[in-house]
């Protein structure tokens, strides 16, 4: 299947689909089989070239991978990306530090092959080759690599490869390049603007059980507060995934406490393994990692609702019988209606970034109706702006007798205030969604309309109405978009 | 002055360390020469291998020589087993062994199907502890196709149980349905004790008085891990049933003492009266567990 898709350029997209954990391909496979399957797909991408859409899967493996086969395959695949980038270097260096104690031989000769005897390659060899490929783009990690070389952090058999990598990196200077920002659109954060979020109706009635055995419905828990929600399970044996996720959630709670937001933003950790992770196990796991546990901050399991949650949130997880065989790192921000406002996927998220995003979602309570911007613009556009307009409108609606109402001069400032209010609303939405096009259009419209108040330019009025309406629609109607590139520190 | 006094001391220490390292290297080289010499007796070679330093990884030549001893089927099995033991001891030092790990694991994979059953079993054991997918595949294959089995089924199940993520639950269920021997059945149950969906199997076994005491105790432990509330219900029934075995009663008492729901047990007058009676009249083993129960719930 992988080979066929690789041979047909029109089917390369299928390889990307096969990398998603929730794909039925992975149903009821053991972890070892899952590793072989994913590794083979990455190795295939290494042969045919790594597209943008698959880059995040490769970076994920470098960031949190602990399996030698997958890390080696990811390092290979990255070298087939069209161009090296400085943002890849910290991830490659991090993978080198993580995997060097599990530097086993691996084989990419055929699907499912294990290296037996002294053939094959190793993840460290592949990562060093990738650093060499990055060359001067990896300048930021050169001191770390040299420290590794001088401190004997990598086996002596790699000395020549290590020297080659250092020489390649030191060969040029690209200091102008931004160090750690991933290419735009390839970030690990997804953001859903207010009007585009999916209702939580499908999961609203799911009963969750918390770390003390208390039961609470999904909507009861998540409606009314902004929430930071992570997924994990206690039997996870990847130290860079579940265990670290819970430890990081504890740090998120500290950040919230420092900012006095502990009562306003709640946190929740939901297990992928509800049958095994009973209340006591959840409590112990959380406390051992410094997690605050109370009515606002809970560890949860969904004894009968995990499938619905999986479908609703499109969780990146799959199972062999009841046990997780593979999952991604994933964290969500729910708005006050329990809808997903943002998600952080695959790469390890940053505590400050997730708190900042949750804080951005908080003021949305003031915009209680998602179409408010559009409707106010429509009202504004059709608002009668002169005495003749009043007569025309009232005549049009058959209330000719009211045409005697005199045109009031106070309408001008009221109209100007409405225009500014509309622009401010659109600006707030633009800031939350990282898309300012709507605001620019509305601003231009407002300027045009205001100019008609002063100069009575008919064509400017028409343009103003059109621009205001267009800006408001652009602001309100938007598909989920990838937010600005996730930033990572070296 | 202080600096001056410290500098020579540091230098002396370094010189001493270098000298000691050279001495060890010389001793190691001599031991390796004996270990790899076919002219020496097996006993001499095994003794020499035991003396090779744990820092074998520092010399690629010595490492490869040791790996060759392990993989060479023409070498005496005692020498090969000694080589395996030496490498295994060196591997405990994770950082020092880092450079050798790849070759070590790949060589272990090479000898999993060795004709010698002891070597095979030990190598599979080492790989299984590393949660090695290659070894897991071989073990599962042997359970599904007994003619290809590298180790007895009970051993294969025991080794697969090192990794809860191994794809072994289905094959363990097959073994329980159609066990080749009692040990295999026990090991299959032990493996399934990490599978949350297997709780009904353990409930049934624990409640079955015709079942072996060992299997019922294993079922109680599994239920404790998977469904503590079910164990509590069953433990109560076992304790109220005067005809059940003492070992099972003791296990039930321990489960309720350690993990029982404090409120429900404390309010269960019938159960507490029964345990009071046991604390006074039961066999010594049960009496001791009953007293611990009484101590906890009387508070």
Kindly list the residues from chain A whose CB atom is less than 8 angstroms away from the CB atom of residue B170.
321
Query: Residues 82..141 of B with a Cβ closer than 8 Å to A: which?
Result: 94-95, 98-103, 105-107, 109-110, 131, 133-134, 136-137
| Coil, strand or helix at A210 | strand
Is residue A300 a contact partner of residue A271, using CB atoms and an 8 Å limit?
Answer: yes
Comparing CB atoms, the residue among A29, A235, A275 nearest residue B167 is A29
Residue of B65, B126, B144, B165 for testing the chain A interface, max A β-carbons within 10 Å: B165
Q: For A33-68, what is each residue's pLDDT tens digit?
A: 999 999 999 999 999 999 988 999 999 999 999 999
Decide if pLDDT at A440 tops 90.
no
The pLDDT assigned to A74 comes to 98
Q: For B80-104, what is each residue's pLDDT tens digit?
A: 999 999 999 998 887 778 888 889 9
Decide if pLDDT at A316 tops 60.
yes
Q: For B145-156, what is each residue's pLDDT tens digit?
A: 999 999 999 999
Comparing CB atoms, the residue among B60, B94, B131 nearest residue A157 is B60
The pLDDT assigned to A482 comes to 43
Closest CA to A345 of A370, A314, A371, A324: A314
Mean pLDDT throughout A164-189? Answer: 73
| Coil, strand or helix at A209 | strand
Q: How many CB pairs under 8 A join A and B?
A: 97
Q: Distance (Å, rounded) from C-alpha A72 to C-alpha A36?
A: 12
The pLDDT assigned to A405 comes to 46
Q: State the DSSP string of chain B.
A: -HHHHHHHHHHHHHHHHHHHHHHHHHHHHHHHHHHT-TTS-HHHHHHHHHHS-TTGGG-HHHHHHHHHHHH-TTS-HHHHHHHHHHHHHHHTSHHHHTTTHHHHHHHHHHTTT-S-HHHHHHHHHHHHHTT-HHHHHHHHHHHHSGGG-SS-HHHHHHHHTT-TTSS-HHHHHHHHHS-SSHHHHHHHHHHHTT-GGGHHHHHHHHH-TTS-HHHHHHHHHHHHHH-HHHHHHHHHHHHH-TTS-HHHHHHHHHHHHHHS-HHHHHT-HHHHHHHHHHHHHS-HHHHHHHHHHHHHHH-
The pLDDT assigned to A370 comes to 43
Q: Is B19 exposed, middle or buried (0-12, 13-18, 19+ CB in 10 A)?
A: exposed
Mean pLDDT throughout A348-355? Answer: 93
Comparing CB atoms, the residue among A101, A103, A322 nearest residue B196 is A322
Decide if pLDDT at A312 tops 50.
yes
How does residue A404 score in pLDDT terms, banded at 50, 70 and 90?
very low
How does residue B30 score in pLDDT terms, banded at 50, 70 and 90?
confident
Residue B263 at interface with chain A, using a CB cutoff of 8 Å:
no
Distances in whole angstroms, Cα of residue A265 to Cα of each of A161, A361, A362, B138 = 49, 10, 8, 50
- Tokens for A110? 């055929």
Binary contact (B165, A323; C-beta < 8 A)? yes
Regarding predicted confidence, which is higher, A489 or B126?
B126
Beta strands in A120-250, from DSSP E residues, in sequence order: 189-191, 207-210, 215-217, 226-232
Q: For B220-279, what is each residue's pLDDT tens digit?
A: 989 988 888 888 899 999 999 888 888 888 889 988 888 888 888 888 989 999 999 888
Mean per-residue pLDDT of chain B: 88
Decide if pLDDT at A72 tops 70.
yes
Q: Give the percent of chain B with pLDDT over 90.
A: 54
How does residue A146 score in pLDDT terms, banded at 50, 70 and 90?
very high
Task: Look at strands A323-327 and A317-320 and give their pairing.
Answer: antiparallel
Kindly list the residues from chain A whose CB atom is less than 8 angstroms away from the CB atom of residue B103.
105, 118
Task: Look at strands A297-301 and A265-271 and give their pairing.
Answer: parallel
Distance from CA of A230 to the nearest CA of B (A): 22
Whether this model's ipTM surpasses 0.85 comes out as: no
Is residue B50 a contact partner of residue B79, using CB atoms and an 8 Å limit?
Answer: no
How does residue B218 score in pLDDT terms, banded at 50, 70 and 90?
very high
Q: How many CB atoms lie within 10 A of CB B214?
A: 12
Closest CA to B189 of B202, B203, B178: B202
Q: Distance (Å, rounded) from C-alpha A432 to C-alpha A434?
A: 6
Binary contact (A30, B107; C-beta < 8 A)? no
Is residue A177 a contact partner of residue A86, using CB atoms and an 8 Å limit?
Answer: yes
Q: Distance (Å, rounded) from C-alpha B80 to C-alpha B262?
A: 56
| Coil, strand or helix at A294 | strand
Decide if pLDDT at A385 tops 60.
no
Residue of A26, A73, A127, A155 for testing the chain B interface, max B β-carbons within 10 Å: A155
Decide if pLDDT at A366 tops 50.
no
Binary contact (A101, B133; C-beta < 8 A)? no
Binary contact (A273, B196; C-beta < 8 A)? yes
Residue B162 at interface with chain A, using a CB cutoff of 8 Å:
no
* Residue A148, strand partner residues: none
Distances in whole angstroms, Cα of residue A419 to Cα of each of A461, A463, B143 = 13, 14, 76
Mean pLDDT throughout A395-418? Answer: 56
- Tokens for B248? 């099972």
The pLDDT assigned to B163 comes to 93
Closest CA to A348 of A89, A10, A28, A91: A91
- Tokens for B33? 């020469």
Closest CA to A332 of A241, A264, A267, A273: A267
Regarding predicted confidence, which is higher, B6 or A8?
A8
Q: Distance (Å, rounded) from C-alpha A247 to C-alpha A251?
A: 7
Query: Residues 189..208 of B with a Cβ closer than 8 Å to A: which?
Result: 194-197
Q: Distance (Å, rounded) from C-alpha A260 to C-alpha A272?
A: 30
Among the residue ranges A105-114, A477-486, B162-171, B199-208, the one predicted with the least confidence is: A477-486
Query: Residues 214..253 of A with a Cβ closer than 8 Å to B: which?
Result: 235, 237
How does residue A186 score in pLDDT terms, banded at 50, 70 and 90?
low
Residue of A30, A37, A69 for testing the chain B interface, max B β-carbons within 10 Å: A30
Q: Is A117 exposed, middle or buried (0-12, 13-18, 19+ CB in 10 A)?
A: middle
Decide if pLDDT at A303 tops 70.
yes
Mean pLDDT throughout A176-198? Answer: 70
Q: Which residues contact A68 (CB under 8 A, 6 or more apart)?
A: A99, A102, A103, A104, A106, A122, A123
Q: Distance (Å, rounded) from C-alpha A160 to C-alpha B133?
A: 31
Is residue A302 a contact partner of residue A277, using CB atoms and an 8 Å limit?
Answer: no
Is residue B100 a contact partner of residue B90, using CB atoms and an 8 Å limit?
Answer: yes
Binary contact (A235, B134; C-beta < 8 A)? no
Q: What's the CA angle centered on A290, arms A285 and A292, to 5 degrees?
A: 95
Closest CA to B157 of B123, B187, B179: B187
Q: Which residues contact B235 (CB under 8 A, 6 or more apart)?
A: B220, B251, B252, B253, B255, B256, B260
Distances in whole angstroms, Cα of residue A298 to Cα of each of A230, A257, A308, A310 = 11, 16, 20, 19
The pLDDT assigned to A260 comes to 94
The DSSP symbol for A239 reads I
Q: Distance (Å, rounded) from C-alpha A94 to C-alpha A73?
A: 16
Q: Is B61 exposed, middle or buried (0-12, 13-18, 19+ CB in 10 A)?
A: exposed
Closest CA to A236 of B163, B169, B139, B129: B163
Residue with tokens 């996927």: A345
For B132, which residue in chain A has the nearest alpha carbon? A32
How does residue A388 score in pLDDT terms, banded at 50, 70 and 90?
low
Is residue A327 a contact partner of residue A34, using CB atoms and an 8 Å limit?
Answer: no
Comparing CB atoms, the residue among A32, A102, A320 nearest residue B137 is A32
Regarding predicted confidence, which is higher, A220 or A475?
A220
For A30, which residue in chain B has the nearest alpha carbon? B167
- Tokens for A178? 């931004």
Q: How many CB atoms lie within 10 A of CB A324?
A: 24
Distance from CA of B85 to the nearest CA of A (A): 19
| Cβ burial A30-51 (10 Å sphere, 16+ → b, else e) | bbbbbbbbbbbbbbbbbeeebe
Residue B166 at interface with chain A, using a CB cutoff of 8 Å:
yes
Closest CA to A344 of A183, A187, A186: A187
Mean per-residue pLDDT of chain A: 84
| Coil, strand or helix at A249 | helix
Task: Look at strands A265-271 and A226-232 and give their pairing.
Answer: parallel
């Amino acid at each position: 299947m992988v080979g066929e898709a690789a041979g047909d350029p029109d089917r390369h997209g299928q390889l990307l689909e096969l990398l998603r954990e929730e794909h039925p391909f992975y149903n009821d496979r053991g972890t070892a089989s899952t590793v072989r399957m994913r590794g083979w797909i990455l190795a295939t991408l290494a042969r045919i070239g790594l597209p943008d859409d698959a880059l995040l899967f490769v970076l994920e493996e470098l960031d949190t991978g602990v399996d030698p086969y997958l890390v080696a395959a990811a390092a290979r695949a990255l070298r087939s990306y069209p161009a090296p980038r400085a943002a890849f270097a910290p991830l490659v260096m991090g993978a080198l530090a993580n995997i060097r104690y599990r530097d086993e031989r691996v084989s990419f000769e055929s699907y499912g092959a294990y290296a037996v005897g002294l053939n094959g390659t190793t993840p460290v060899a592949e990562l060093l080759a990738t650093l060499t490929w990055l060359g001067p783009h990896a300048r930021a990690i050169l001191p770390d690599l040299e420290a590794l070389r001088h401190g004997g952090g990598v086996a002596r058999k790699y000395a020549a490869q290590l020297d080659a990598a250092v020489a390649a990196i030191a060969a040029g200077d690209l200091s102008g390049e931004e160090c750690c920002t991933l290419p735009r659109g390839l970030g690990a954060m997804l953001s859903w603007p207010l009007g585009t979020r999916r209702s939580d109706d499908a999961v609203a009635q799911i009963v969750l059980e918390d770390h003390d055995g208390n039961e609470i419905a999904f909507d009861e828990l998540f409606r009314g507060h902004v929430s930071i929600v992570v997924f994990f399970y206690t039997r996870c044996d990847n130290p860079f995934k579940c265990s670290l996720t819970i430890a990081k959630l504890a740090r998120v709670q500290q950040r919230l406490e420092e900012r006095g937001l502990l009562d306003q933003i709640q946190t929740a950790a939901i297990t992928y393994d509800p049958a095994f992770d009973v209340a006591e196990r959840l409590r112990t796991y959380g406390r051992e990692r410094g997690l605050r546990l109370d009515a606002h901050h809970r560890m949860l399991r969904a004894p009968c609702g995990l499938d619905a949650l999986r479908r609703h949130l499109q969780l990146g997880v799959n199972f062999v019988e009841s046990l997780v065989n593979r999952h991604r790192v994933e964290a969500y921000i729910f708005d006050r209606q329990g809808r997903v406002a943002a998600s952080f996927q695959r790469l390890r998220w940053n505590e400050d970034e997730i708190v900042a995003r949750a804080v951005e979602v908080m003021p949305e309570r003031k915009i209680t109706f998602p179409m408010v911007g559009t409707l106010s613009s429509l009202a504004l556009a059709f608002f009668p702006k002169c005495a003749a307009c009043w007569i025309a409108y009232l005549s049009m609606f058959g209330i000719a007798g009211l045409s005697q109402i005199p045109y009031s001069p106070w309408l001008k400032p009221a109209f100007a205030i409405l225009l500014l209010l509309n622009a401010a609303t659109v600006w707030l939405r633009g800031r939350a969604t990282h898309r300012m096009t709507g605001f620019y259009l509305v601003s231009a419209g407002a300027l045009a309309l205001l100019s008609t108040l002063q100069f009575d330019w008919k064509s400017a009025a028409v343009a103003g109405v059109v621009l205001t309406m267009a800006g408001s629609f652009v602001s309100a109607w938007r598909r989920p978009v990838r937010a600005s590139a996730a930033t990572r520190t070296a | 002055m202080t600096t001056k006094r410290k500098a020579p001391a540091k230098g002396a220490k370094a010189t001493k360390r270098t000298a000691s390292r050279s001495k060890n290297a010389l001793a190691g080289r001599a031991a390796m020469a004996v270990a790899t010499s076919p002219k020496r007796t097996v006993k001499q070679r095994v003794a020499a291998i035991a003396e090779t330093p744990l820092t074998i990884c520092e010399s690629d030549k010595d490492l490869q020589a040791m790996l060759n001893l392990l993989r060479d089927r023409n070498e005496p099995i005692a020498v090969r087993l000694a080589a395996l033991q030496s490498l295994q001891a060196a591997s405990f030092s994770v950082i020092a062994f880092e450079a050798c790990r790849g070759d070590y694991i790949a060589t272990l994979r090479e000898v999993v199907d060795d004709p010698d059953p002891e070597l095979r079993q030990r190598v599979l054991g080492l790989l299984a502890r590393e949660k090695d997918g290659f070894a897991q595949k071989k073990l599962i294959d042997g359970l599904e196709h007994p003619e290809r089995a590298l180790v007895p089924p009970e051993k294969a199940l025991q080794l697969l149980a090192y990794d809860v993520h191994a794809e072994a639950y289905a094959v363990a269920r097959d073994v329980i349905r159609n066990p080749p021997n009692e040990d295999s059945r026990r090991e299959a149950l032990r493996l399934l004790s990490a599978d949350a969906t297997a709780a009904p199997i353990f409930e049934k076994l624990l409640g079955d008085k015709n079942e072996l005491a060992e299997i019922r105790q294993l079922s109680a432990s599994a239920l404790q891990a998977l469904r503590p509330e079910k164990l509590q219900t069953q433990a109560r029934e076992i304790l109220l049933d005067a005809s059940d075995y003492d070992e099972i009663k003791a296990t039930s008492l321990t489960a309720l003492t350690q993990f029982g729901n404090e409120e429900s047990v404390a309010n269960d007058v019938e159960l507490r009266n029964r345990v009071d009676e046991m604390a006074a009249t039961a066999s010594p083993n049960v009496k001791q567990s009953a007293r611990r129960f009484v101590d906890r719930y009387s508070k």
